[in-house]
Amino acid sequence: MTALVGQRVKHVDAGGFSSCAVTEKGELYTWGGGVSGSLGHGDERSVAMPRRVERPNGVMVGAAATCVTHTLVADADGVVWACGARSALGLGDPDAAPKGEPWANPAPIPTLRVGVRKSPDVLPFR
């Protein structure tokens, strides 16, 4: 967990085979099973320790949730991003990725927006 030492974590989530953490700086860290590209690192490899997900154009992450085959991320503006198996997501732009192919990098779902609550409780990760 050394990647998170000294970071101020504002949100965590644990799915079936993977976990994620969102920092106060709006960075997303994922670790666990990488099936279908669900970790957002551009491949399908599993990682044992938290690894920062590269943010397109400096997107600020507000919250995230992981599952066995995908991860959903809400940015600070409420735009939902996804990575992982398209069949598990069941929403968004059907032309965003070839049918049957995973999204290995986070991609926005332009038709879906959510309200992101600002949390006053941000604790340092130890």
State both tokens at 7.
């970071």
Least trusted range by pLDDT, from 39-43, 94-98, 100-104, 111-115: 94-98
CA distance 11 to 122: 8
Residue 52 has pLDDT above 50, yes or no: yes
CA distance 73 to 21: 11
Domain boundaries, position 45 = 2-110
62: in domain? yes
63: in domain? yes
| For residues 52-64, average pLDDT | 84
Give the CA distances from residue 48 to residues 1, 55, 84, in Å, rounded to whole numbers and listed in that order.
9, 20, 18
126: in domain? no
Mean pLDDT of the chain: 80
115: in domain? no
116: in domain? no
59: in domain? yes
- Rounded to two decimals, the pTM is 0.81
* Total domains in the fold of the chain: 1
